[in-house]
Amino acid sequence: ITTKQQRFAHALLKDAGCTKFLDKSKIYGLGMGTKTEVMADLQRRAEFEGRTLHFIEDRLKTLQAVIGKGPELGSWQLYLCDWGYNSPSDRNQALVEDRIAGVDLAEFCDLLQRPKKWTAQVMPKVGKGEGVTIGFGP
């Protein structure tokens, strides 16, 4: 789920070597609704009933807004990536949030290959790269 156009998000993922693990149809981009609207829609789908969904974001405020929605978005495990629009201070602040874990780009790509490895581990690493936000269920 991204505020970028779907094709730009796909290009960023392709550049990072992640597209062979993520179908373009599973990238929800600009014009498909707000992030929280798309998340709520996905959470209501029968195919995801009883499953934990995963949302990776590069803005702490966005993750805090998801938490603020309460049970409406309660099936989502939230991750603050260590690239994009956040700072070391944001990443440290995220560590105190029960629903937010950290992830770096290499771990993200690895987890796309092995979705059963998704956990709520906290990985407070500092890195640089392009900001990409993805939400999907393993």
Whether 101 contacts 121, CB under 8 Å: yes
Give me the sign of the Cα torsion angle 15, 20, 25, 27.
negative
Q: In percent, how much of the chain has pLDDT > 90?
A: 33
Predicted pLDDT at 128: 32
Whether 116 contacts 94, CB under 8 Å: no
Structure tokens at 76: 């989502």
Predicted pLDDT at 118: 61
Predicted pLDDT at 20: 65
Q: How many helices (H) and strands (E) does the chain have?
A: 5, 4
Q: What's the CA dihedral at 59, 60, 65, 68 to 10 degrees? A: 160
Nearest CA among 133, 138, 131 for reference residue 38: 133
Q: What is the mean pLDDT of each run of 10 residues along the chain (138 residues)?
A: 88 77 80 92 90 90 93 90 91 90 85 64 34 36
pTM: 0.74
| pLDDT 10s digits, 35-45 | 999 999 999 99
Please state, in angstroms and rounded to a whole number, the distance separating the CA atoms of residues 73 and 100. 13
